[in-house]
Structure 1
Amino acid sequence: MNPPSDVAAPTPSLPEVHRSVAVPNAAGFLRKLLAFMGPGYLVAVGYMDPGNWATALAGGSAFGYTLLAVALASSLMAMLLQALCARIGIVTERDLAQLCRERFPRAVAYPLWLLAEVAICATDLAELIGTAIALELLFGIPLLYGVMLTALDAFLILWLQNKGVRWLEALIVGFILLIVGCFGVQVVLSDPEWGAVLRGYVPAVSIVTNETQLYIAMGILGATVMPHNLYLHTAVVQSRAWAQDEAGKREAITFASLDSTIALTLALFINSAILITAAATFHAAGRTEVAEIGEAYQLMAPLLGSVLAAKLFAIALLLCGVNATVTATLAGQVVMEGFLRFRLSPVLRRLVTRLIAIVPAVAVTWLHGASGTAQLLILSQVVLSLQLPFAVIPLMMFASDRKRFGRLAAPAWQLALGWLIAAVIVGLNLKLIIDFLAGD
C-alpha cells in the first residue's frame, strides 16, 4: 500500500463533534458505558432503514421464516465488523476514508471514494422512498409529492447538528425505542408460530440453491451490513474524549464495542420482527408476493383484525426513514472529507445527495407507481451488497496491521472471522452476478 504524496495530517473526523463528549476518569462500569453510549445507535439506524423493510417483507411473505437465518447471520457479521471499526477509529484516530486516502495510491483511493458515494446514494434512495410511503400512509400525501418533500429534511440535519452530538444521539435512541415498541405490539398481534420462528434461525440450503431466495438474501445482507456504516462508525466513535494512553484506548475499545453490540441487537430484533410479522400475516394467508410496503399496510388491518397494527407499522416506517436520513448525511460528510479533504456544509451535502436520489425515485414513481418503488427499494439494497467488498476488504486490511496497532491489535479470532466474512460476501456477490449473467 503506497500512500499518495500528500500525506499531511487530515482534519479530525467530524471536527464539530470531535472529542466533544467527556468520559469520566473515576467512575463505575455503568457510568462509563453511558458516556460511550450513542455512536453505536447512530450506526444501528442504518440496519433498520426502509431498505430493510422491503427485503424483510419480501422474504417473509415469500418464504415464511426461512430467511431469519440470513437476518441473524448478517447481524452477527455487523457486530464483529462494527467492533473492528470502533477499534480502528480509537487506535489510529482516523476514520476509514482517511486511512484509505493515506495508505492507498490515488488510483485505488478515488475509485473507493466513488463506490462509497454510490452506496450512500443507494441508501438515500431507500430512505427517500420509505419516508415518502410513510407520509402517504399516515397523512394521505401522494407518493410523488412525498418523494419531493423529503428534500426538506436537510433543515432537520442542520438543526440537530447545531444542538450537539448528544442531542442527536438522544433523539436517535428515543426513535429506536419507539420503533421497538411498535414492532413488539405487531409481533404479538400477528401471533406467529414460535417453533417455526426458532427453526427459521437455522440456515437452510435453499437460501443458496434457490435464486430468488439468494437475491432477497443478498438484499437483506446489503440492507444489514451497510458500507457507509463502516465509514461512519470509525468517525463518530472519536466524539468521545477518552484518555490518550494505552489503558484509556483499551477501555474505549471495550465500551465502544459494547455500545455498538447492544444497539445492533435492537436492530436485529426490529429486522426479525418485520420478517416474522410478514411471515405470520402474509405467508400464512397465502399472500406470498407482498413486497410493497403500501400493500403490506393495506393488508395488515384486515388480516390481523386490528387497525392499530397498521398504524404502528406506518409510524415505525416514518421514524426509521427520518433516523436513517440523519446518519446517511453524517456518513456522506465523513466519506467526502476523508477521501477528498473537501468540506461542504451539512445542508448542502444533504441536498446534493438527496437530489441525486430523487431523480430515479421520481421517474419510477411517475412511470410505475408503488409497484415500481418496491422493486427499486430491493434493488437499492442489492446494489449496497455489491458495494460491500470495497469497504469491508480495506477495513480488514487496516484492522490486520499488527505493526500499527501493537498491543491494541484485535484478537486473532476476530481477524480470522472478519476475513471469513469478507470472503463470504465476495463469494455471494460473485454467485449473484453469475446467476444474473446466466439469465436466472
Structure 2
Amino acid sequence: MDQVRPAPPGQAPAEPSLGALNGSVPVRAGGSWLWRLFAFIGPGYMISVGYMDPGNWATDIAGGAQFGYTLLSVILLSNLMAIVLQALAARLGIATGLDLAQACRERTSRPVSIALWLICEAAIIACDLAEVIGTAIALKLLFGIPLTLGAILTALDVFVVLLLLRRGFRALEAFVIGLLTIIFVCFGLQIAMAAPPIQAVLGGFVPSREIVTNPAALYIAIGIIGATVMPHNLYLHSSIVQTRAYPRTDQGRREALRFAVTDSTVALMLALFVNAAILIMAASVFHAGGRTDVEEIEQAYELLSPLLGVGIASTLFAVALLASGLNSTVTATLAGQIVMEGFLRLRLPPFARRLVTRGIAIVPVVIVTALYGEQGTARLLVLSQVVLSMQLPFAVIPLVRFVSDRRLMGPLVIPGWLKGLSWVIAGIIVVLNVKLLVDTLAGT
C-alpha cells in the first residue's frame, strides 16, 4: 500500500470518528483504579458481540456434535488471537485519533482506499445476512413466525438503534450488555443441565493431533477460526474507544489504552465462554447421544430438549439465539456508519444507513427462503461466513501495518515482540481463511 498524506502522531482528523459521540462519555480524573476502569467498560462488550453472533453457532454445533470436546482448543486459540487483534484496533484509535477506516483513507492511495471500502461494505452486508437469518430462525422457533416474515421483521431494529443513540452512547452499551447477560445466563443454565464431565472438558482445551490428521476435524477447525475474527469489529473497536473523554495527551492515551485493553480482554473471555458453551453442549448432548450428524441451528433446537429430558432447554437455546441476533444488528449498524464515514466522509442518518444495509440483506433471505426453503437459508448462512473470510485479510493486514508505523503511532507504536506476534497471527488467519474459501468453493 502506498502511504500518502502522513499525519503527525496523535493528530485527529478534521472530523472525529462518530462525530458528536467522540469523547462524549465522561472519564474520572482521579479515584480508585476500579472507578476509572468503570468509565471505560462498554466498548469491549460491544465488540464481543461479533464473536458470538449467529454465524458462529452452526460451526460450534457441528464441531461439538462430530468431535466431542476436541475442538475446544481451537476456540481457545482463536479467542487469544482475537484478543491481540482487538487490542491493536483499540491502540490505533487511541494513539492516532483515527478509526481504521479513516486511517485507510488517510494512509493509502485513493484507488486502494476505495477498494478497501468496497470490500468492507461487502463484509458488513454478509455479516448482516447472518444476523437476519439467525434472528429469523429464532423468531420462528419461539413464536412460529415463518422465516420470510421473520426476515422482514428484522428491519424494525432500525428504530431500536435510533432510539438508543438519541439517549447517548452509554444507553447503547447498556442495551448490548443486557442482551449479553441473557445469552450468558441461558448457556450457563444449559451447561448445568447437560452436566458435562469436567475432566473431558478440560482435556478439550489441550491441542490434539486429531485436529491436524483428520481432514473433517481440520475443516471445522478452520471454520471456527475463520468465523471468529469479524472484520467489521476491527473498524468498530478503533472508533468506539474514542467515545471516552480521556485527556488527549501521551499520559492520557497510555492510561486509556490500558483500560480499553482490560475491557476488551475481559469481554472476549465472555465470548470464549459462550462459544465454548455451544460446543460443550453439542458434545455432551449430541455427540454423547450418538447424534454426530447435527450441524444446523434448527436441528439442535429440535433435539436439545428430548435428549436432555428438560423441556425448557430448547427454549433457552432459542432465546439466546434471538438475543445474539438482536445484539449483532446493533453493532453492525454502528460499524457500517463508521466505515462509510471513515472511507467516504459521507454522513447518513443512522436509520437511513441501517435501512439500506438491512434491505440488501433481507432481499436474498426472502428470495432463497421462498425458492429453496429452510435448507437454502442454511447454505446462505455458510456463504455469508465465506464472504467474511475473504474480507478479513484486508482489515487485519492494514491494521498491523498501521500500528507498526512509528510515524503514525508515536510513543504508542507496538514493540518488536508484539509486531512479530501480530504478523504471525495475521499470517495464520490469512492462510486458514484462504484454505476455508478454497475448500468451500471446491465443495470438500
Alignment match, 1:190: 194
Does the alignment pair 1:413 with 2:423? no
Give 3-state SS (helix, strand or coil) of 1:241's partner. Answer: coil
Alignment match, 1:77: 81
1:58–1:291 contact (8 Å) kept in structure 2: yes
Among candidates 284, 290, 301, match of residue 286 of structure 1: 290
- Distance in 1 (alpha carbons) for counterparts of 2:329 and 2:209: 36
2:92–2:99 contact (8 Å) kept in structure 1: yes
- Distance in 1 (alpha carbons) for counterparts of 2:306 and 2:272: 27
Alignment match, 1:141: 145
- Distance in 2 (alpha carbons) for counterparts of 1:376 and 1:73: 27
The 5 A counterparts of 1:336-355 are: 336-355=340-359
- Distance in 2 (alpha carbons) for counterparts of 1:28 and 1:418: 32
Alignment match, 2:276: 272
- Return the offset for 1:382: 2.9
2:386–2:436 contact (8 Å) kept in structure 1: no
The RMSD of aligned alpha carbons is 1.8
Alignment match, 1:93: 97
- Distance in 2 (alpha carbons) for counterparts of 1:170 and 1:48: 18
1:45–1:323 contact (8 Å) kept in structure 2: yes
- Distance in 2 (alpha carbons) for counterparts of 1:4 and 1:366: 49
- Distance in 1 (alpha carbons) for counterparts of 2:213 and 2:393: 22
1:361–1:373 contact (8 Å) kept in structure 2: yes
- Distance in 1 (alpha carbons) for counterparts of 2:336 and 2:219: 27
2:6–2:107 contact (8 Å) kept in structure 1: no
Letter in 2 for 1:415: K
- Return the offset for 1:379: 2.8
- Distance in 1 (alpha carbons) for counterparts of 2:384 and 2:352: 23
Alignment match, 1:365: 369
1:218–1:385 contact (8 Å) kept in structure 2: no
Instruction: Tell me: CA distance 1:434–1:122, structure 2 relative to 1, closer, same or farther (3 Å).
Output: closer
Letter in 1 for 2:222: M
Alignment match, 1:13: 17
Among candidates 41, 45, 53, match of residue 49 of structure 2: 45
Instruction: Tell me: CA distance 1:438–1:21, structure 2 relative to 1, closer, same or farther (3 Å).
Output: closer
Deviations 1:45-80 (A, max 9, x none): 111111111211121112222221221111101101
Listed as ranges, the gaps of 5+ residues in structure 2 are: none
Listed as ranges, the gaps of 5+ residues in structure 1 are: none
- Distance in 2 (alpha carbons) for counterparts of 1:57 and 1:247: 45
- Distance in 2 (alpha carbons) for counterparts of 1:389 and 1:300: 37
Letter in 2 for 1:185: L
- Distance in 1 (alpha carbons) for counterparts of 2:88 and 2:261: 8
TM-score of the superposed pair, with normalisation by structure 2: 0.95
- Return the offset for 1:256: 0.4
Q: How many residues align?
A: 440
- Return the offset for 1:431: 2.8
Name whichever of 244-253 and 382-391 sits farther off: 382-391
- Return the offset for 1:119: 1.0
2:176–2:327 contact (8 Å) kept in structure 1: yes
- Distance in 2 (alpha carbons) for counterparts of 1:206 and 1:116: 35
- Return the offset for 1:345: 1.1
Name whichever of 410-419 and 320-329 sits farther off: 410-419
Among candidates 247, 253, 260, match of residue 256 of structure 1: 260
Alignment match, 2:320: 316
1:97–1:335 contact (8 Å) kept in structure 2: yes
